Structure 1
């Protein structure tokens, strides 16, 4: 991505300074996303830039306005545009510039942001190997958007081929690790041998990703997942916290780390991160809404939990229906709880058979596990205690 120096429309010393400061702040925030190479007009790589971010700054008596436009360099099509206002108070100017830069970077570069959406809809004829490898990462995000388990084997195979062709591609290694974890997260009934093998593969792939690029957030997110499902909870949370400090604008990571933090007992701090991730993420929201439903459930706010779980329609996910059953049961919504129980009995008998272990694999504190299972028992679900 080429970031052009923003135009100064006012022609004053103050406006020139603000235009330059905003340009540099946005370059810095975008550079935290490791899949994006950010260049400026003096860089020799300008010719290969696929996208351009341009903008202008205009001053009034006590405020400024930044207008930004993001477009495809090949055909000039505008993919995104927005404007941001800020006060001219010296004491607040640096903070205002940083806040605007974070908003721009998040809108463009996060997992389901403008760039990802533009590439997901792009069809390349006879793609070169590097584009084919990159498209594997896009296919992973498409799979995660709706958690279609039938798509997972093809996504895993694509990523395995990508790291074979490009063994230095840290992001692909990280996503491959998450694909291995997803194989056990959604496998009912569980296979202990397959679970152990998948966790070992996930840890190895995640650590390879981190070794290749210690600042790659997807790599660190994968390591967090692999450690969490290996029951190394404290280590997992430390990795997640470090990753978020590297790029606080990555809402995909923010939501996943927040969810792990909440499930491990840090409900207040974790749920706050999930809420912020949902607010800032333009992508699929059902995953966040299911998490927020669980957050409300564990603070005994059942009307709020019901509101979130009704918004988060994930019809094919057994995890969603399990959480919904607990919420409806504990909140006194008997007809809804019965509907969820019948769905689970028909569609996820393997999950019910091993329900206590599956819940304990995700929720860390024994008292939280017991409370959740108690809610499920109220629905009439029969499972081994």
Structure 2
């Protein structure tokens, strides 16, 4: 209303062919002018409106004809108009599916199903999907839909239960809004061998209930069956918790499990990508005797994953980080952009974009991307949280830099780079005693640290100067007031 030189005339409800219920019809009126008189911009807007209305109508038709327990379109009247005008994307949290098995050893199956639904929905660009790490705290925490909506800032929630009976899997799932209103619900009973078909059904029906238009090509990509081997899938599921809580021991455990998965299915792209991640994490966290060799192995595995499935997001993110390590910024940006084209909601992809922008000197844009990643996944990994703390430091937001660095060291104590940013931020924030305490720790746990080399990936000389100023104030340079080699300053 008020945006175009046109108005609408309500024609009433009409009965249409193949439709069980009457449909409300409207006529679009354009001041009596012919379409040839419309400007190109207005014509484009009208076309976009037509597509939007078609998608909305399609979703209602799907809800009517499929027999789902849907109560109609998710947006009505002015609310729908506001969301279309603002370009707002519906935000959804897939809560951990509750296992109804008495054997706790089988709980990982419910967790794995939840994570796969999150990943599948995350590939729909019209949705913002909250990560597994953000919803995991609600696994055994009773909370109302309203409380969860406020806490996670989401509009919709998926919840469900999983029960394994002999060789069959029984799943109940429903989609609710912030008020607890059930928008869709369904029950599934599938043979365990058809677990991938089960995932397809759940994700495609949730997507339909959210009125998302998906092309056939996109839908085939999103719902692609990951492997024919249920046993290989089982090993990948078991490796996920170890990857999500990275320690040296967990990293080794995940690597062993993923190797088993690949032995069972040598064409399992997701297993190769996850195995590449274990090598990349080991090199980044200081767990590798030869980081260069480990990064080379990570690259080899990531490329293998992409040869098997070029839509494997994790493999592209890992390649982006490897290119960044080699200071191949253009290649890094290309891989991260490809990952986000496939899944715009991938937290590691968004964080990877922020990290690339950080080293390129685009600090504000880097913070925006990293904060968006943190919004989706509050438990950023050690590499990404270090990037966020450094970005805050370069923006002179020292308390925020300190907060992120301290949090990183509590959850990933081997990220020595965070100690360095923490010491510099303390020094710039006039917390000399805290800075001295951290410097003492750095010299004890990181005796080979070279302040002249740290941060040289920063392309903007002013950023590097500011980082070195903080390190000097903290006392990280050997001796007082040691000059910096001129040849290092512009690296």
Shift in Å at residue 325 of structure 1?
A: 0.8
- What residue is the counterpart of 2:46 in the other structure? none
Report the Cα distance in structure 2 between the residues aligned to 1:356 and 1:365, rounded to whole angstroms: 16
- What residue is the counterpart of 2:304 in the other structure? 208
Give the direction of change, closer, same or farther, for the CA distance of 1:375–1:168 in structure 2 (3 Å limit).
Answer: same
3-state DSSP of counterpart to 2:453: helix
- What residue is the counterpart of 1:178 in the other structure? 277
Question: Is 1:166 equivalent to 2:265 in the alignment?
Answer: yes
- What residue is the counterpart of 1:47 in the other structure? none
Shift in Å at residue 128 of structure 1?
A: 3.5
For structure 2, list consecutive stretches of 5 or more residues without a partner in the other structure: 1-62, 81-88, 95-115, 124-154, 180-206, 213-229, 479-483, 486-491
3-state DSSP of counterpart to 1:72: strand
- Structure with bigger RCO (C-alpha 8 Å, 6+ apart): 1
Report the Cα distance in structure 2 between the residues aligned to 1:81 and 1:296, rounded to whole angstroms: 37
- What residue is the counterpart of 2:237 in the other structure? 134
1:4-60 per-position Cα deviation (integer Å, ceiling 9, x unaligned): 86423369xx89xx9xxx9xx9999964658xxxxxxxxxxxxxxxxxxxxxxxxxx
Give the direction of change, closer, same or farther, for the CA distance of 1:173–1:286 in structure 2 (3 Å limit).
Answer: closer
Report the Cα distance in structure 1 between the residues aligned to 2:209 and 2:377, rounded to whole angstroms: 16
Across the two proteins, how many residue pairs are aligned to each other? 301
Report the Cα distance in structure 2 between the residues aligned to 1:333 and 1:287, rounded to whole angstroms: 25
Correspondences of 1:1-385 after superposition (within 5 Å): 6-9=68-71, 31=120, 68-74=158-164, 82-84=176-178, 128-143=231-246, 148-187=247-286, 194-283=290-379, 290-314=386-410, 315-350=413-448, 352=449, 354-360=450-456, 363-382=458-477
Report the Cα distance in structure 2 between the residues aligned to 1:101 and 1:379, rounded to whole angstroms: 55
Report the Cα distance in structure 1 between the residues aligned to 2:295 and 2:385, rounded to whole angstroms: 27
3-state DSSP of counterpart to 1:8: coil
Give the direction of change, closer, same or farther, for the CA distance of 1:370–1:202 in structure 2 (3 Å limit).
Answer: farther
TM-score, scaled to structure 2: 0.52
Report the Cα distance in structure 2 between the residues aligned to 1:260 and 1:231, rounded to whole angstroms: 10
Report the Cα distance in structure 1 between the residues aligned to 2:436 and 2:162, rounded to whole angstroms: 51
Report the Cα distance in structure 2 between the residues aligned to 1:223 and 1:290, rounded to whole angstroms: 19
3-state DSSP of counterpart to 1:69: strand
Name whichever of 223-232 and 71-80 sits farther off. Answer: 71-80
Give the direction of change, closer, same or farther, for the CA distance of 1:380–1:98 in structure 2 (3 Å limit).
Answer: farther
Shift in Å at residue 338 of structure 1?
A: 0.8
Which of these two proteins has the greater Rg computed from alpha carbons? 2
Report the Cα distance in structure 1 between the residues aligned to 2:373 and 2:302, rounded to whole angstroms: 23
Report the Cα distance in structure 1 between the residues aligned to 2:121 and 2:243, rounded to whole angstroms: 21
Report the Cα distance in structure 1 between the residues aligned to 2:427 and 2:281, rounded to whole angstroms: 28
TM-score, scaled to structure 1: 0.64
Shift in Å at residue 236 of structure 1?
A: 0.8
Report the Cα distance in structure 1 between the residues aligned to 2:363 and 2:208, rounded to whole angstroms: 29
3-state DSSP of counterpart to 1:7: coil
Shift in Å at residue 220 of structure 1?
A: 1.0
Give the direction of change, closer, same or farther, for the CA distance of 1:28–1:341 in structure 2 (3 Å limit).
Answer: closer
Shift in Å at residue 381 of structure 1?
A: 1.8
Give the direction of change, closer, same or farther, for the CA distance of 1:163–1:373 in structure 2 (3 Å limit).
Answer: farther
Report the Cα distance in structure 1 between the residues aligned to 2:451 and 2:67, rounded to whole angstroms: 56
Give the direction of change, closer, same or farther, for the CA distance of 1:203–1:253 in structure 2 (3 Å limit).
Answer: same
Report the Cα distance in structure 2 between the residues aligned to 1:308 and 1:172, rounded to whole angstroms: 31
Shift in Å at residue 185 of structure 1?
A: 2.2
Shift in Å at residue 68 of structure 1?
A: 4.5
- What residue is the counterpart of 1:114 in the other structure? none
Shift in Å at residue 310 of structure 1?
A: 4.5
Shift in Å at residue 321 of structure 1?
A: 1.1
Shift in Å at residue 207 of structure 1?
A: 0.9
